[in-house]
Chain A
């Protein structure tokens, strides 16, 4: 029995080692992802946006969706399975301001980590895309996304997950996203994420009275490819400011890296206990 106990404890020790190795591995993977400077993204400047809703029409056209029906005094709207981006107006400390919302194209997307079929996929160029032929419609991406972006076609027999894909098809042809391309005020700027951050800093630096000193998306959810700058705090624009600063997939890494060691070592432990108890049935007394 004592031998078995020893093997058992050895196994436990090995688990601990395996766990810490697993943690280190994932940690280094994380820093690689952060070091990717070639990701592309979009910078949205609330100061330049006039809220014409033009990008909503361009987006619908680019994705083969029906044109949005926007009332004169539009209420607060959300994106849904037929509107991949919307522009809302918010009463703020500096008057009424527009805010465009769409997928943030996180650097380490929760939706991608959640997806068990790799249908949600962070491309090397930056856009997070959804791939129809892989998705099984489990909607775990919707549970996981901190920005509530993936939407589901509840009334379809072959439902799709709908969300902004940064016009991945257009990008592959060397063009810019439809909303960026068509924006009459150049409120949207497409480029390398690192360049966009530099540009945003520049604008904040040059006109400190017009901007707050914060680039939304630089660190939110571990960094996103879509970046916002604005004259008022982002909470006033209805953006999720409670979002974690670290990446969301990081929240599950501990669990995931412990699976392999448990899968290997728990059976050994069980076998040990089995051998130890085999000869002598346990009775109530020595439980």
Chain B
């Protein structure tokens, strides 16, 4: 458990660089199935990214003048941000509502959130035609304050900072920097409060991005409540992701965990299932209200109507019932199943709004190129590599070192 610190304290001259170099070396097996699959994909992905910068976005994507946002925005950003919602929801539960039961999974969730945001920003940069000009938004005098995208961008950026602050105590513990750790935990509450606020706003802002596309998104999916729908969806999307990810990392990193933690983990999952069921119900109720108020029943009588019903019944109502059932029966298997269905449903909904029912009336449909898929996978894989690198070294899943325990806010 204390390997990292041993390395550090063995160095009597406190040579930070030696320590970092040492830590950069891979730990654990190199030829795992995951590595064997992901490594070649990452290499191909990097080549595609190189071509994208050499020949332009059109060289590797199927984007058109009608469909300017494809998989990179629709999946990596619009969907991915919802998946990263678990960080703010859990932070709210643990640090604001004081539900200490969820403390053990807080750090890994915050870390996941931070990395997710970091890599979505990378995806975003790939998609920008003139990425260097992003400085205009950050330091320039060209503030388009009436732009939803501007506000989303800024909330996104600041939230990344908040996440970094929330996670930073773990880094300090890894570096054995006690003073720093103390300073960092005093600004913790501020980071928590602003982090949640920033999240609520950028999660809803992603929905608000599509408000002006009123004529382009199928009326079954468009509503003026898109921002609200998106923020509610981010609650169950984020938690479902926490459930899935927690289950995986629990297997992969089980040696890092104390013996009693499996029982504890199950009780956490059951609690999360209950919250997911509630959030899905809230979403469903919202969708019903939106439908009754503004939508035309006629639309249901078409192929798009069936598609819509599939999304609502198969991927909102079904996982809602499954979560409820698995919570009542404390069935871990069904919780995981429900989480997977929920995640698929979130992908379906976000892909619908951003790609599938976007210009549903067009004859020519946008289908991403294989290069777009590979780049998306590359980004996800590199993220997992980094995540693994950090979990191996910093106190994320395992308990913090003794000196750091008990002085959290």
The number of residues on chain A lying at the interface, defined by a beta carbon within 8 Å of a beta carbon of chain B, is: 61
Closest A residue to B129 using CB positions? A137
Residues A265-284 near B (CB distance < 8 A): 266-267, 270-271, 273-274, 277-278, 280-284
Q: Contact at A248–B212, with CB atoms within 8 Å?
A: yes
Q: Contact at B189–A274, with CB atoms within 8 Å?
A: yes
Given A255-B148, A255-B227, residue A116 in contact with residue B129 (CB < 8 A): no
Partner of B148, one of A139, A142, A242, A256: A256
Given A110-B212, A148-B66, A282-B97, residue A116 in contact with residue B193 (CB < 8 A): no
Q: Contact at B200–A262, with CB atoms within 8 Å?
A: yes
Q: Contact at B193–A136, with CB atoms within 8 Å?
A: no
Closest B residue to A114 using CB positions? B147
Given A113-B212, A139-B129, A140-B149, residue A267 in contact with residue B197 (CB < 8 A): yes
Q: Contact at A266–B200, with CB atoms within 8 Å?
A: yes
Q: In the complex, what residues of B have CB within 8 A of residue A266's CB?
A: 196-197, 200
Given A114-B147, A266-B200, residue A143 in contact with residue B209 (CB < 8 A): yes
Q: Contact at B95–A159, with CB atoms within 8 Å?
A: no
Partner of A244, one of B95, B147, B214: B214
Question: Which of B142, B201, B204 is most buried by chain A, counting CB atoms within 10 A of its CB?
Answer: B142
Interface presence of A115 (CB below 8 A): yes
Q: Measured between alpha carbons, how far is A133 from B135 in the docked complex, in Å?
A: 11
Q: Measured between alpha carbons, how far is A175 from B51 in the docked complex, in Å?
A: 43
In the complex, number of A-B residue pairs with CB atoms less than 8 Å apart: 177
Given A80-B65, A139-B69, residue A156 in contact with residue B56 (CB < 8 A): yes
Partner of B215, one of A80, A244, A277: A244
Given A159-B56, A251-B224, A277-B96, residue A151 in contact with residue B65 (CB < 8 A): yes
Given A78-B65, A81-B65, residue A117 in contact with residue B146 (CB < 8 A): no
Q: Is the interface of A mostly helix, strand, loop or mixed?
A: loop
Q: Contact at A137–B58, with CB atoms within 8 Å?
A: no
Q: Measured between alpha carbons, how far is A271 from B146 in the docked complex, in Å?
A: 29
Q: Measured between alpha carbons, how far is A256 from B209 in the docked complex, in Å?
A: 11
Q: Contact at A152–B129, with CB atoms within 8 Å?
A: yes
Closest-CB distance, A260 to chain B (whole angstroms) = 10
Closest-CB distance, A243 to chain B (whole angstroms) = 7
Q: Contact at B97–A277, with CB atoms within 8 Å?
A: yes
Closest A residue to B198 using CB positions? A263
Interface presence of B271 (CB below 8 A): yes
Q: In the complex, what residues of B have CB within 8 A of residue A142's CB?
A: 65, 68
Closest A residue to B146 using CB positions? A113
Q: Measured between alpha carbons, how far is A154 from B62 in the docked complex, in Å?
A: 10
* Contact bitstring A226-254, B, C-beta under 8 A = 1, else 0: 00000000000000101110001101101
Q: Measured between alpha carbons, how far is A281 from B271 in the docked complex, in Å?
A: 15
Closest A residue to B212 using CB positions? A144
Q: Measured between alpha carbons, how far is A31 from B54 in the docked complex, in Å?
A: 47
Q: In the complex, what residues of A have CB within 8 A of residue B143's CB?
A: 118
Q: Contact at A136–B133, with CB atoms within 8 Å?
A: yes
Q: Contact at B96–A137, with CB atoms within 8 Å?
A: no
Partner of B151, one of A153, A256, A280: A256
Closest-CB distance, B311 to chain A (whole angstroms) = 22
Q: Contact at A116–B153, with CB atoms within 8 Å?
A: yes
Residues A124-149 near B (CB distance < 8 A): 133-140, 142-144, 146, 148
Q: In the complex, what residues of B have CB within 8 A of residue A164's CB?
A: none
Q: Contact at B193–A271, with CB atoms within 8 Å?
A: yes
Interface presence of B59 (CB below 8 A): yes
Q: Contact at A263–B55, with CB atoms within 8 Å?
A: no
Given A143-B209, A143-B212, A240-B215, residue A116 in contact with residue B144 (CB < 8 A): yes
Interface presence of B374 (CB below 8 A): no
Q: In the complex, what residues of B have CB within 8 A of residue A277's CB?
A: 96-98
Interface presence of B128 (CB below 8 A): yes
Q: Contact at B197–A155, with CB atoms within 8 Å?
A: no
Q: Measured between alpha carbons, how far is A196 from B63 in the docked complex, in Å?
A: 38
Q: Measured between alpha carbons, how far is A252 from B57 in the docked complex, in Å?
A: 29
Closest-CB distance, B264 to chain A (whole angstroms) = 13
Interface presence of A25 (CB below 8 A): no
Interface presence of B205 (CB below 8 A): yes
Interface presence of B382 (CB below 8 A): no
Q: Contact at A137–B130, with CB atoms within 8 Å?
A: yes
Q: Contact at A140–B99, with CB atoms within 8 Å?
A: no
Interface presence of A28 (CB below 8 A): no
Q: In the complex, what residues of B have CB within 8 A of residue A281's CB?
A: 98-100
Closest B residue to A254 using CB positions? B224
Q: Contact at B149–A114, with CB atoms within 8 Å?
A: yes
Partner of A273, one of B57, B96, B134: B96
Q: Contact at B211–A252, with CB atoms within 8 Å?
A: yes
Report which B residues bind A (CB closer than 8 A). Answer: 53-59, 61, 63, 65-66, 68-69, 92, 95-101, 127-134, 136-137, 140, 142-144, 146-151, 153, 189, 192-194, 196-197, 200-201, 204-205, 208-216, 224, 227, 271
Report which A residues bind B (CB closer than 8 A). Answer: 78, 80-81, 110, 113-119, 133-140, 142-144, 146, 148, 151-159, 240, 242-244, 248-249, 251-252, 254-256, 259, 262-263, 266-267, 270-271, 273-274, 277-278, 280-284, 287
Can you report 16 residue pairs joining A to B where beta carbons are below 8 Å apart?
A114-B148, A136-B128, A136-B131, A137-B131, A139-B68, A146-B212, A154-B58, A154-B61, A154-B63, A158-B130, A244-B215, A267-B194, A270-B196, A274-B189, A280-B98, A284-B101
Beyond contacts A78-B65, A143-B210, A252-B208: 15 other A-B pairs, Cβ-Cβ < 8 A, are A113-B147, A116-B144, A116-B147, A142-B68, A143-B216, A157-B53, A251-B212, A251-B224, A255-B208, A255-B211, A259-B201, A263-B201, A266-B200, A282-B97, A282-B99
Sorted nearest first, the 3 A-B pairs with minimum C-beta distance are: A137-B129, A154-B58, A116-B150
